[in-house]
Every structure is written in structure tokens, then in C-alpha cells.
Structure 1
């Protein structure tokens, strides 16, 4: 086992604590993404009842799922700042994972729509403790020369967990009830109960991994002056906008474009004359590209620089978003989503690495939370935008996403400069700072 662990560490060439954190986030990602599939099924089951406040079940599902995203994203700058102020990342991660474990178990007791709303809101709060502290920890364990690779490895395993959860969740629910060999006659649990137990167990496993394998970096210092404010103007005066703010806006636009597909499954299936299986494959294509490319792109941006990859990724996002509104076959939609995933992979790890390069001592939590908050908001805004716009025509949501991608590309190209002073020549020459 130790030899295998050494081989894995050598393959990914990162601090063992980064790898341990990546595995921990993979485990809690499996459990958390389970709920994306399970909660809508749970809401429509006979188990849940109570006041609906005049809302349809579909709207209740949307509110429950969206509340998690909006709370999580809104609170990340706050928790990131506090982790900077106390200079302790591990404690924040453990608080969040502990909250996830308990709230996953709380679903077993939920019997009303309101209780589900409260539990999901508390889960959003819990994840808001985990994300900024995790990214800050990766940033502080890395150096300027390997930061991209570390971010890539971390994101790769996190996305593996996020992608694997929904695949297994439906099967766990549908194959229930289960009889556990406890006592003389055994104990029977429903498929829903089994899913919530799986989510709680994976969160508890993550807690154990972080407790045993993770320590705060020796050089991390508390920053009592950590500021919650996000700089909009460039303090150096070289550009109009602050580069981290610019990357946050670009990340928001990218995530919005990526998430447009989420809520228009009926329209997509009708247009392409396909079933739900094809839609699931198309939706997962983005995650597949991310898993395959995050680590190599992160490594490459340590060699060639951050900015070229971000610019190329944003440029690629433009046609890959627009074409999704124009395709007419399931196969071409799959290829479009795969290409959009490539665009996202080119942007995300290098953007985090560039922001990490710019973050000062004790500022990783607050600075990098700008990007993680923006991504979370984009994932929440995208489905709402497509749901509102698709009534005007199938292509309209994707035109909207394309416009955002164009604006994001212009902002990155004009407002973000390279942070690596020494790097190999990039194969494709880029003007404007490269």
C-alpha cells in the first residue's frame, strides 16, 4: 500500500497533503452530488408533505437546489476572510465537513418541504466553510512554479467525485429497499435512506482523511487585517480593473454558459429526438473533459504561463457555447459539450493559479474565494437564465451565453497580465503581455 501511495504521489508530483485533500474532496463530492439526483425524487415521494406555500413541486425543487448554491457562493468571501484572519485552514474544512455529515443524516428525519429547505440551506453554509479554506490550503502548499499543477490535481479528483455521485444515486434509490443483517430479523431501510447514509458516510470519510492526513502549512500566518471588500479597480494603476476581480467576472460568465443546459432537458431531447440517456451523456461530457485535462493543463501553465491558457479557453468558449443552440443531432451536442469542457479546463486551474500568484501572505482565502464564489453563482444563474430565455427560441439561451463569453474574453485579454516571470515560449504567440 505504501509503495502504491508513493507511485501515485510521484505520478501527480504534488505535496502529499494536496493529494490527501483532493481525495477527501472527491469523497465528499460523491455524497454531495448524490443529493442533486435524490432530492428531486425525495420531494415528489410520499415521504414529504406539509405546506407548499402555494408553490408547485417543480418550483419547490428549484428553490431547494438553488438555495444551496446561492448561500454557498454568497458566504464564501466571508468564510475565506475569517480563515485568513485566524490563519487556520484545516479547522474551517473540518467544521464544514462535520456540518455536511450531520445534515446528510438530518434528511432521514425530514418530513416536510420546509425542513428540506432548512437542511439544504445548512449544507450550503457548511460547504461555504470548505471551499475557500481548501483552495487557500492548496495555494499555500504550492509554490509559484507548481501552483497550476497542484490546482489541477485538486480539481481533477474533486470533479471525479462530483461526476460519480449522480451516476450511482439513481441506482441506489431504485434498488431499495435494503435489508441489513442486524439483529435476528434484520433491519430494512428504503432506497432514500440508503442514499442519505451513503452521503453521510462519504462526508465522514472526508472528515477522517482531513483529520489524519492534513496539517496547515508551516508558513501560514494569521492576517488580522484581512479585508472582506473585493477590489474592483487595479491598485497598481496599470489596468482599469483588478486582475482577480476580472478573473472572477470571467469565471462567472464561463460557469453561466456551462450551466445553461441544466434546466432545458425536455427542449433538448425534443429538438434532438433523443432520450434522457443521451442527455445524461451530453451533460457528463463537460465533466469528462475537465477530469482528463485539469492536471495536464495545470502542469502546462506552470511551464508556459497562466494567461495564454485562460485567453485560449475563453476564446474557445465562444463557439462551443453558440453551437449548442444550433446542433440537430445527439452526437454533435455531445461533441459541443466536450469541446466546452476543454474550454473550461483551459480556464479554471490557470485562473486559480494566477489569482494565487497575486494573493499576498495570509490573503489566499479571501482572494481565491472571489473565483470560487463566481463559479458557484454562475452554476446557479445559468439554469435560471436558460429557463427564462428558452421560451423565445431554443437558440436564445446559447446566444446569451455566447455574449457573456465574448465579454469575458475581452476582459481577460485587456485586464489580466502574466504572473510568471520565467517560462517557456508558448507555441501560439499571443499579444498583449505575452
Structure 2
């Protein structure tokens, strides 16, 4: 799977895997931690704001979303500064420190607002880490013909951490596969809950990631030409009549990420509807990522040979029905299948999109250009949980997934008509003619 991959790409991939493991822990742990009563919602849940009653699902969605909101809106700024300074490694390390501090704080917090503040702190950390890491992967690509494969390898390891984190989190919290209830652990005469153990694993993930980057990664040299690039973000194609391809891919990535994140907020309703355990829910959550783990590398490398755009278009074709199905199935195995198919769609979209943006980054700056996609993905992950809670309250169980399917169709239309191919059929130089 990783034969012939630059060792620096592998180091960044392993580092991101460790970091993603810790973050995905929190996606599962925080809703349970808030719902357990250890975080007080007194005076918040049940109150009315602008005619809308705040319910527990909405408050959980806000905690999950705030991370992505701050992360996403901060990325264009940090990505641009990393282009200007060329000190990508320092940005990555700073972000990991901020994330670790936020994770370490959770066991000591009991108020909803303090938990919200800790999640915000972690979001700022991710804003430093993500665009700089992606820019390093792009900078290390020696040619356009290996960029898709590099992003495929990087995303595979990142998603191993993100996908298996929820499963491991369920085991840590409950003490075993399929077990229910929060267990306690005894270490050195001290007793602590499964929640505290899970937060400790998140901190450990950040520490491992920090060590790998600090010891094994160096910044590539920054040329005077790179420092003088136009680092503005374009909406319209400066050489055509339509929208800029990177901007359109950003919009599509946002819509795709939103559909992924609809699931987490509805853990309670989904488990009740399907009559399933916490462990089964965790496996369903991870199915999207498992499909990506299996397919990111072959799809990324195929996009180096065939072209980026066909895979992105195909991904959105598959995404719409996969998301819609999640709102109507009533069997746990059918939900698992729908989530896995959604993962296939995400794999078709994500690595080729990053590679296409990376092809264009040679004239725009890696951090600035690629931050459009990483920002969009983070924003979608942020908006998805909050939108899911709101749509569930306004409509019903199927409403969030029906809206997600509509977003996938819109992304398909935008991509088909507005995204230009950057490679020739044999993986040649950027600049191929637009495809209709």
C-alpha cells in the first residue's frame, strides 16, 4: 500500500493518525460525557432562544460544531502565514500543543460553558496543524504524477486513526466490546472513570504526533518566488468565464463533510430506532472511514494516471443515495451498509480533490490553496452536527439525511459543470482543457 512512498509522507501520515485518533475519541466521548450528567445543563437545556427550544441534542451539536467552526475559519489565515514564512513545522507543533491542553482539561470541567471553551481551544489548535501538514505533503511531492498517491497514503493513515478511534473509545469507556455503562479504572491506587481514560488517550495521541514531527520533519526551503506569490483566494476562474475550480471543490467538500457529520449528533435516536448497542453505533460511525482506508491509496494513484475530475464526479453520484438511505433504514446492518457506501463516495472525492488543488498550488501557494479544501471539510464537520440537531428538532429522524442528499446532488452539479481537469490522460502536466 505504501511501497515507494516518501518517508517524510509516511512520518506525517503516522503523526496525523495519532492526532486523529485522539480527536475522533472526543466525537464519541463528548456527547456521552455531556449526557451522563457530569456536565451540568441546568439553566440551558429547555430554554427558549428566538422561539427555538434548546434541547440536549442541539447543545451537544454545538460543542461538536464549535471545534470545526474555529478550525475552519482559522485555516486560511494560518495557511497563508505558513506560505509566507515557510515554517510549516512550527505551525504543526503549536497546534498539537493547544489540542493536548484542551484534551487534558476535560476531566476537570463540569459546566457546559467550560466544556464549550475547551473545545474552542482545540479548534484553534487544529487551525494551526491541518493546513500546514497538508501543505507539507504537497510540498514533498516531486511531480504531479505522485501527488494523488501521496495524498491517498496520508489520508489513509489519518483515517485509520479517525475511523478506529470511536471503536477504541467505546471499549475504553465501557471496558469491553459490546459492554454498556461507564467503567472505572484503578492505577497506582487512584481510581478514575472511563471518561478520564478516554481523555488521556486523546492527550497521548497529540504527544505522539508532536514527537514524530519534532524529531523527523524539516521544513522544505522557501524560495523568493514562493514568498512573492499572490496568496488571495479566488471565487471566479481568472482565465475563464466560470467559477474557480478550487473554490468549487471547496464548496463540494463542505457539502460532503456535512453529510458525514450528520450521524454523530443523533446517537441516541439512532440507537433507539435500530435497537442497537453503543458499540454497534461506533462501528457504523467508523464504516465511512473504513471504506476510505481501503480505497484512498488506489483511488489517489489512479487519479495520477487517469485524471482527478472523473473520480470526484463519480463520488458525488454515489454520495446522494447513500446519505438518503440512512434516514429510512430500520435495520442495523442496512445502516452499516449505507455508511460503508458513503465512505466509498468520500474516498472517490477527497484524495483526487486535494491532488487537483495541489496541481494548481504551484502558482498560488500550497498552504493557501489547500486550506480552501481543509477549511471546507472542517466547516462541514462543524456545521453537520449542529444542522443535524436542528433539522431533527424541526422535522423528524429522516429530515437531516434528506437534506444531506440534496446537498450531495448540488455538489454533483457544481463539480460536473465548473471543475476543470488538471492532468492529461497519461498523468501529464497541469493545464488540460476543461471537460464538460
TM-score range normalised by the length of the shorter chain: 0.7 to 0.9
1:50-89 matches, within 5 Å, as 52-53=43-44, 58-89=57-88
Change (3 A) 1:72 1:112: same
Change (3 A) 1:408 1:49: closer
**How far 1:285 moved relative to its partner?**
1.5
Aligned length: 415
Change (3 A) 1:118 1:382: closer
* Preserved CA contact (<8 Å) 1:70 1:377: yes
Instruction: Return the alpha-carbon distance in structure 2 between the equivalents of residues 395 and 65 of structure 1.
Output: 21
Unmatched segments (≥5 aa) in structure 1:
1-7, 426-430
Instruction: Return the alpha-carbon distance in structure 2 between the equivalents of residues 180 and 61 of structure 1.
Output: 31
- 1:157 matched residue in structure 2: 157
Cα RMSD, aligned residues only: 2.7
Bigger mean CA deviation after superposition, 171-180 or 337-346: 171-180
**How far 1:333 moved relative to its partner?**
2.5
- 1:98 matched residue in structure 2: 97
- 1:403 matched residue in structure 2: 406
Instruction: Return the alpha-carbon distance in structure 1 between the equivalents of residues 7 and 295 of structure 2.
Output: 21
- 1:121 matched residue in structure 2: 120
Instruction: Return the alpha-carbon distance in structure 2 between the equivalents of residues 83 and 203 of structure 1.
Output: 21
- 1:218 matched residue in structure 2: 221
* Deviations 1:276-323, CA, capped at 9 Å, x for gaps: 444333322211111110111111111111111111111122222233
Instruction: Return the alpha-carbon distance in structure 2 between the equivalents of residues 174 and 57 of structure 1.
Output: 22
**How far 1:141 moved relative to its partner?**
0.5
* Preserved CA contact (<8 Å) 1:84 1:222: no
Q: Secondary structure at 1:316's aligned position in 2?
A: helix
* Preserved CA contact (<8 Å) 2:229 2:363: no
Bigger mean CA deviation after superposition, 148-157 or 101-110: 101-110
Instruction: Return the alpha-carbon distance in structure 1 between the equivalents of residues 39 and 387 of structure 2.
Output: 29
Q: Secondary structure at 1:359's aligned position in 2?
A: helix
Unmatched segments (≥5 aa) in structure 2:
48-54, 176-182
Q: TM-score, normalised by structure 2?
A: 0.87
**How far 1:397 moved relative to its partner?**
3.0
Q: Secondary structure at 1:230's aligned position in 2?
A: coil
- 2:21 matched residue in structure 1: 30
* Deviations 1:150-185, CA, capped at 9 Å, x for gaps: 00111111111112222122332344533334xxxx
- 2:237 matched residue in structure 1: 234
**How far 1:189 moved relative to its partner?**
3.5
- 1:358 matched residue in structure 2: 360
Aligned structure 1 segments of 4 or more residues deviating by more than 6 angstroms: none
**How far 1:338 moved relative to its partner?**
1.3
**How far 1:100 moved relative to its partner?**
1.6
- 1:148 matched residue in structure 2: 148
Matched, 1:180 2:187: yes
1:228-377 matches, within 5 Å, as 229-237=232-240, 239-269=241-271, 271-272=273-274, 274-361=276-363, 363-377=365-379
- 1:201 matched residue in structure 2: 204
Q: TM-score, normalised by structure 1?
A: 0.87
Bigger mean CA deviation after superposition, 293-302 or 107-116: 107-116
* Deviations 1:16-51, CA, capped at 9 Å, x for gaps: 111001000111111122222222333345654597
Change (3 A) 1:387 1:227: farther
**How far 1:226 moved relative to its partner?**
6.0
Q: Secondary structure at 2:403's aligned position in 1?
A: helix
- 1:387 matched residue in structure 2: 389
Matched, 1:131 2:130: yes
Instruction: Return the alpha-carbon distance in structure 2 between the equivalents of residues 45 and 135 of structure 1.
Output: 36
**How far 1:261 moved relative to its partner?**
2.8
* Preserved CA contact (<8 Å) 1:12 1:153: no
